[in-house]
Every structure is written in C-alpha cells, then in structure tokens.
Structure 1
Amino acid sequence: MSSVNPSLDRIRVGSAPDSWGVWFPEDPQQVPWQRFLDEVAQAGYEWIELGPYGYLPTDPARLGDEVASRNLKVSAGTVFTSLHRGPEVWDATWEHVSQVAALTQAMGAENLVVIPSFWRDDKTAELIEDSELTPEQWRHLASGTERLAREVRERYGLGIMVHPHADTHIDTEEHVERFLDATDRDLVNLCLDTGHYAYCGGDSVKLIETYGERIGYLHLKQVDPRILEDVVSKGTPFGPAVRQGVMCEPPLGVPAMEPVLTAAQGLGVDLFAIVEQDMYPCPPDQPFPIAERTRRFLRGCGA
C-alpha cells in the first residue's frame, strides 16, 4: 500500500465508553462518566456512543448539555437482545430497546447497535445455552430482528446495526453470512466490529467486499494474535480473554486498519468508525494515553 493514504472522507471516527473500560451502567472499577467525556474529547474524538444505558445521564436535556459543552456528538446507542428465543421475549426486549432508542433519538443519532445475547456466561464460563441455534431459533432470530428494525425505524427513525460478537450466535463468517442471507437487506444492516470478527476467525475486508451493502457501521478494534491463539486453544470465554489482553491497541494486532478503512471508504457511503478497545476492568489512568495514540494512528491512516 502507498505510504501516502488518500483522505478517508466518508469515515467519521469516534470512540466509546468501552475504550475506557466501561461495560456496565454502574461499577466501582469504572471511571466516572464525567471523566470519560472529558478525556474522550481531549483525546481528539468528535463522536461517541452512549455505552451501557444508565452510564451516561439518561435525561436528554442534561446529557445534551454535557455532550455539547465538550463539542461532542452521539453516533449511536447500544442494546442487547435475545431474539432467537422467540416472541415470548418481545415485550421485555422492547421495554429496554425503547428506552435506549428514545435517548439515542433525542441526541440526534440515527443508529442503534444491536448485540445478540451471550451463549455462555462472561465470568463463570457456564453454558447458558447451546452455541449453535436450531433451525427454529434461526427463524426466530431473523424474524425478530426484522420486527425490531421496523419498530425502531417507525417509532424513532433509527436504523439498527447488528453487531457480530464473540460468544454469541452471530460470530463466525458462517453464522454472519447465514444471518445476513436470512434477513431483509432494506431493514437489517451490520455493525462490523473488526476485532470481534477477527477473534472469531473472520476477514473484515472480505466481508466488506462481499456484503458491502449490508455494512452500515464500524467498530475499530484489533486482537493480539498470540493471545488469541491461547484463547482459542483453551476455549477461554470472552470476559477472561479480555482480561488477558486479547484486544490490543492498533497497530499492534490484527486486522490491519488501513485495508479495512480503504475497503469501507470504497463503499461510497458515510460510515461511523467507532474505536473500541475492550479493557474491562482496567486502571483508570490506562485508557486516555491509548485513546490519544489510537486517534493519532488513525489520522496517519487518513481518517
């Protein structure tokens, strides 16, 4: 690749509470939300995600003031869902989704990142359910996601971006392609997380080139291939793998960022590219220097 990168003018770079070690609405091991907002702005990011609902203020007026005072803008909210379990989970799902979607809409964002539920416990490694869905569960997942997309679009004007994620049923290349082929391209798009996809053996550039019209959002992340090899060989759950440092700052891991960003730019549409480096838990002073270095690195890539 040329040492002089073309400007990635369709890519809008941001970061998220995840890059500050935030996984939960409240947790004594996490930095206070004010510090996250201060530091994400100081590190040079313009866009943020809401993170776990309840971490940032949920009153739209207050959150709007806090974000605007730091010259930040919101790109998306995030929800977890278990739609493969069928219609009986719809009411509980919608109760959660509607809260997050309302706040996301109030912040002027247009995207809702949807993460499938884990099939094994993040901390204990206990199996919650089988790692493979039955044909009926695949049908529930597809129809439930389409229903969610329609409701979120009609009521809140948001598009859903389904996030393939380690230790969920939408993880590997095979599962991601099966999910995409089973869902309506006009309703359901992907949040491609480059780190999670690599963690599960996928090739982000190939996915962008093959299913480009379904890529609506990016999470930029890298995995340490050496630690990943150990994680895979031992069957380590995702939570402990993160504590081992399986997610690392660019350009120290895979996939290489430049080819992914170039492929995304080639789609010819505006895309958010939100930096996420899973680091739960982490020392409070660790995230900011990494965030600054990562922003500098991405500028060097043209983003």
Structure 2
Amino acid sequence: MAQIEVGNAPDSWGIWFPKNDRQVSYHVFLDEVAAAGYSCIELGPWGYLPTNASVLEVELASRNLKLVASTVGCNLLEEESIESVLVQLPEITALQKELGAKFVVLLPAMFTDLFTGEVVLNKTLSDEERDQFNRNIGRIGRIVREQYGLVLTAHPHVDSHLETEADIESLLAATSAEDVSLCLDVGHHAYGGGDACGFIKKHIGRIPYIHLKNCDADILAQMRKEGWSFAHAVTKNIMCEPWRGMVDFKQLKAVLDDVGYQGYAVVEQDMYPAPPARPFPVACDTRNYLSEVGIG
C-alpha cells in the first residue's frame, strides 16, 4: 500500500516568478494551501517565499506546513546557464536543509519561448548534444549529493529535451541512480506522449518524488494545430484538474499501491496568470478528489 503525503506548489497559484504584479502575495498562497488541506509545499521561484530560513520556518509552522523541495532550472547545454544555478545552490540548499527539505527539482530549459511559442532552441539534439545534456544533469546531481547531501530530481517538462519517454530513458541509462532521480510529473508525461502508470512500474527505483496534474487531450491537440505557446495553452487549462485529463488517477493510485510508493505527491497545476479567486477552490476540489481516490 502506498504511503503518500500530499502537498501543493506555488505554481498552482500562478506563481512563475519571484516578483510579479499578477501574482498573489506569499501570505495568500500559504494561507490558502493550508486551508485547502495540504501538508507541504515547494519553494517555488527563488525569492517568492522568504529566503531567510528563520522567517520561513515561522510562516510554515504557523500553518502546520513543511517544505519538501526547492526548484532550479537552466539550459543544460549552456555552461553559463548551468553556472548560474551552481552559484545559487549554496543559498538555496542552506535554506531547505534548515527546514528539512531533501529534494532539489531540476527543470530543463524549454526549446520554445514560454510566451510566444517561438522555437528558441533546436528541438532535436544530436547524439553528442544528448550525451552532453545527460552528463550535465549527472554533474549537477553529483554536486547536489556530494556537496549538499540532497537528492536531485530531474523534472521532465513540456517542450524540452527531457519530455518523451525516450528522452527520460536516455537520461536514466546515462546517469547513476545515486546522482539522478526523477520528479515524475504525470501531466507533463502525458503531454509528451508517455504512459505515466507504465513508466512508474518500470522505473519506481528512480522515482522518489511525484508531481500531480493532468493534461487535457483536446486542448493539447488544439495547441499543436494552432501553434500556441505553452503560456497561452495554460490559460486554456491544458494542465487540468486530475479528474479531467488523459491520466486515469484511479489507475495511478493502483499502480502506486502495487509498487509500494512511499513519499510525497505534490500538486503542481500550471496557472498563469491566475485570477486571484480561482486557485483556492481548484486546490480544495483537487484535494477532495485525491482523497476520494485514496491518494493521501
């Protein structure tokens, strides 16, 4: 039987940037994520939540919340971009270690512009580039483990070079389990044409951390037909509530039970910009639905 603790992420409140006029304050996010019945959160973009561990600890404790992960991202084929993450890691990891969060979630750069949909990187990697991409994830993972004592979980993402099952299989084959694990996002996995349930069965040993959301097949087809940017597709709710999309969450629960999953499952429902009144009822309905199917 799976033992799952369910959290939610700032992304579900439309938090994509450290500071942005279209985002709610961190007090609103924390108040609402706690009121909706979740027990843990991710850090979100560095600088959105307090970066002083003592301040953040008080904010979390007052709401019976805990921190479970941080998130970083970079272009994994560009040394300058990788270095910017490595320079930031000491501060980020010091904060999360003080608060007991063990996971560092690594997001690969998208090959399309988030807001215009314009292709900004080559969609297809050469064999040499793929090797470099995988090596760099392994290098970051080794640093996260050896220098900070934490776990790197690479996050497959839409419109990135870590999107399809073939991409992920390549990464897993090229890296060690002690340096690189996965944050498997079941909605992004469906977007990339994968079968999250089958993939979890095959690779549970590399999946200590899960993101929960779903993907609307009709919106995805329309997005591809009309060339929408991912940000525009998000406004159409492409990454939809768990009960509405391509992933069967009852089947997902059965698979998690079968493999004996023990750990966190964090809701990360992409919203931006999020009307201030929308995230809280969605978060409540999502938490109720997950409880109904036995997740958390």
- After TM superposition, is the score higher than 0.5? yes
1:66 to 56, 59, 71: 59
Give the aligned residue type for 1:188. Answer: V
Tell me if structure 1 keeps the 8 A contact 2:118–2:229. Answer: no
* Structure 2 residues not aligned, in runs of 5+: none
Q: Distance in 1 between matches of 2:222 and 2:109?
A: 24
Q: Distance in 1 between matches of 2:93 and 2:222?
A: 38
Give the aligned residue type for 1:39. Answer: E
Q: Distance in 1 between matches of 2:27 and 2:101?
A: 20
Q: Distance in 2 between matches of 1:49 and 1:14?
A: 8
Q: Distance in 2 between matches of 1:236 and 1:208?
A: 30
Q: Distance in 1 between matches of 2:72 and 2:221?
A: 30
1:220 corresponds in structure 2 to 212
2:163 corresponds in structure 1 to 171
1:139 corresponds in structure 2 to 131
1:256 corresponds in structure 2 to 248
Tell me if structure 1 keeps the 8 A contact 2:74–2:82. Answer: no
1:36 corresponds in structure 2 to 29
Identity %: 43
2:69 corresponds in structure 1 to 76
TM-score (norm 2): 0.95
Find the residue that maps to 1:266 and give its secondary structure.
helix
Q: Distance in 2 between matches of 1:251 and 1:134?
A: 38
Q: Distance in 1 between matches of 2:100 and 2:166?
A: 35
Q: Distance in 2 between matches of 1:265 and 1:217?
A: 15
1:157 corresponds in structure 2 to 149
Q: Distance in 2 between matches of 1:190 and 1:265?
A: 19
> Once structures 1 and 2 are overlaid, which stretch shifts more, 10-19 or 181-190?
181-190
- How many residue pairs were aligned? 295
Q: Distance in 2 between matches of 1:97 and 1:235?
A: 35
1:121 matched to 2:113? The reply is: yes
TM-score (norm 1): 0.93
Deviation at 1:71, TM superposition (A): 0.4
Tell me if structure 2 keeps the 8 A contact 1:167–1:237. Answer: no
| 1:1-303 equivalence runs, <5 A | 9-85=2-78, 87=79, 89-303=81-295
1:4 corresponds in structure 2 to none
Tell me if structure 1 keeps the 8 A contact 2:154–2:181. Answer: yes
Find the residue that maps to 2:183 and give its secondary structure.
strand
Tell me if structure 1 keeps the 8 A contact 2:212–2:242. Answer: no
Q: Distance in 1 between matches of 2:247 and 2:207?
A: 17
Structure 1 vs Structure 2 CA RMSD: 1.5
Q: Distance in 1 between matches of 2:89 and 2:18?
A: 15
Q: Distance in 2 between matches of 1:231 and 1:202?
A: 18
Q: Distance in 2 between matches of 1:217 and 1:10?
A: 12
Q: Distance in 2 between matches of 1:111 and 1:242?
A: 26
Deviation at 1:89, TM superposition (A): 4.4
> Once structures 1 and 2 are overlaid, which stretch shifts more, 55-64 or 262-271?
262-271
Deviation at 1:90, TM superposition (A): 4.0
Q: Distance in 2 between matches of 1:231 and 1:216?
A: 31
Q: Distance in 1 between matches of 2:96 and 2:227?
A: 36
Deviation at 1:15, TM superposition (A): 0.4
Deviation at 1:57, TM superposition (A): 0.5
Deviation at 1:78, TM superposition (A): 0.4
Find the residue that maps to 1:211 and give its secondary structure.
helix
Find the residue that maps to 1:151 and give its secondary structure.
helix
Tell me if structure 1 keeps the 8 A contact 2:6–2:266. Answer: yes
Q: Distance in 1 between matches of 2:14 and 2:210?
A: 19
* Structure 1 residues not aligned, in runs of 5+: 1-7
Q: Distance in 2 between matches of 1:274 and 1:148?
A: 23
